[in-house]
C-alpha cells in the first residue's frame, strides 16, 4: 500500500478498514515492511491487526520488517513485531539479522531488547 509508505496514515487506515490487501507488494515489499522501515508506528499496528505477514522479506532478500526496523533504531516497532511473532533470529540471505543490524548502527536499546528476547 503506497499510502502507508508515503505517510498518508488516514488514507491507508481507510483502505485497510475497507479490505485493502495488506500483503500486496509494492516496490519490492509489503506495507508492513515499508511502515516498519520508515518508523511509522501508527501504521504498523493496524497492518498487523489485519493479518500483514510479519516475516515477509523484501524482494532483494536483504531485510524483514524486524531487521529493517532494528537497523534503523525503531525500538517500539521492534517490540511490536516481536510480540506479533517476528522471527527474531532470522537472517535474510543478502542481509543481516535484526541483532547484527542494530549493533552495526549503534542502536543499543534495540540490541538490549533483542538479546533479552532471545536473539543470538
Average pLDDT estimate for 2-10: 67
Cα 23 → chain centroid? 12
Question: What domains are defined for the chain?
Answer: 2-116 (1.25.40.20)
Report field, pTM of the whole predicted structure over 0.85: yes
Q: What DSSP line would sit under 69-105, residue for residue?
A: HHHTT-HHHHHHHHHTT--TT---TTS--HHHHHHHT
pLDDT digits (tens, 9 = 90+) for 49-88: 889 999 999 888 889 999 999 999 999 999 999 999 999 9
Length of the chain: 120
- Contact residues for 62 (Cβ-Cβ < 8 A; gap 6+): 92, 94, 95
Report the pLDDT value the prediction gives residue 15, as an integer from 0 to 100: 79
Instruction: Assess contact for 5 and 35: CB atoms under 8 A.
Output: yes
Q: Check whether 4 has a pLDDT greater than 80.
A: no
Q: Check whether 7 has a pLDDT greater than 70.
A: no
pLDDT digits (tens, 9 = 90+) for 9-30: 778 778 778 877 778 887 888 8
Amino acid at each position: 500500500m503506497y499510502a502507508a509508505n508515503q505517510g498518508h496514515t488516514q488514507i491507508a487506515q481507510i483502505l485497510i478498514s475497507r479490505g485493502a490487501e495488506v500483503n500486496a507488494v509494492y516496490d519490492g515489499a509489503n506495507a508492513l515492511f515499508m511502515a516498519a522501515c520508515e518508523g511509522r508506528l501508527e501504521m504498523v499496528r493496524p497492518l498487523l491487526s489485519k493479518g500483514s505477514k510479519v516475516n515477509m522479506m523484501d524482494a532483494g532478500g536483504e531485510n524483514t520488517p524486524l531487521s529493517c526496523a532494528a537497523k534503523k533504531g525503531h525500538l517500539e516497532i521492534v517490540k511490536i513485531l516481536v510480540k506479533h511473532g517476528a522471527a527474531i533470529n532470522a537472517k535474510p540471505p543478502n542481509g543481516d539479522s535484526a541483532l547484527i543490524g542494530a549493533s552495526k548502527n549503534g542502536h543499543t536499546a534495540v540490541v538490549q531488547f533483542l538479546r533479552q528476547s532471545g536473539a543470538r
